[in-house]
Amino acid sequence: MVMSKSGWEQLNCQYFANVCRRVLGALLGAQGFAERGLTPGGGVIFSKGDVALELNYDVSRCPRYFVTAWLSLGDWVHRGNGVPLWYMLSNEHPYREGTHWNFHNEEELFRVLSEVKADFVEAILIPLLDSQDALERLIDRFRRDSAVGKVGPGQLQ
């Protein structure tokens, strides 16, 4: 179903993909990631071999968008075979609380993604790339925790 510009499509964040590329493109490229495509709403998918990273936002919260990030194994980003960024962070990290992910304009998105770059991509993702087994264990733990209702965005363990 194609929506007109008067529907949900008009809420899309037009600058999201460009800011993602500006903040994360060079670092991810240096790690062997390439941009694989855009999500229907304008999020960006980067991949390297079997690892896919989707950076997106929740359009339903317009105009105060909410950044989402998902790391998956496989040939496409799939919630059943992946783990959200917030789950990989320590319980004390501010990104474990959903309100820290909000942005309203390009400057706020740049700030949020700069923190994602430092606190997630450099600190967690890059070391995980050396061990697919570790990433698989993390995904399995997330599946188990999700199945028993132990975790959810903004919900501390």
What's the pLDDT at 146? Answer: 84
Please, are residues 79 and 68 in contact by the beta-carbon 8 Å criterion? Answer: no
Question: What pTM did the predictor assign?
Answer: 0.82
Domain hosting residue 85, numbered range = 10-147
Q: Is residue 22 part of a domain?
A: yes
What pLDDT digit, counting tens, does each position of 63-116 carry? 788 888 889 887 666 666 889 888 888 888 776 665 567 899 999 999 999 988
Q: Is residue 62 part of a domain?
A: yes
Q: Is residue 28 part of a domain?
A: yes
b/e per residue 31-41 (b: at least 16 CB within 10 A): eebebbeebeb
Q: Is residue 94 part of a domain?
A: yes
What's the pLDDT at 41? Answer: 82
Higher per-residue confidence, 143 vs 44: 44
- Total domain count for the chain? 1
**Which residues lie below 8 Å from residue 12, measured CB to CB, with a gap of 6+?**
41, 42, 59
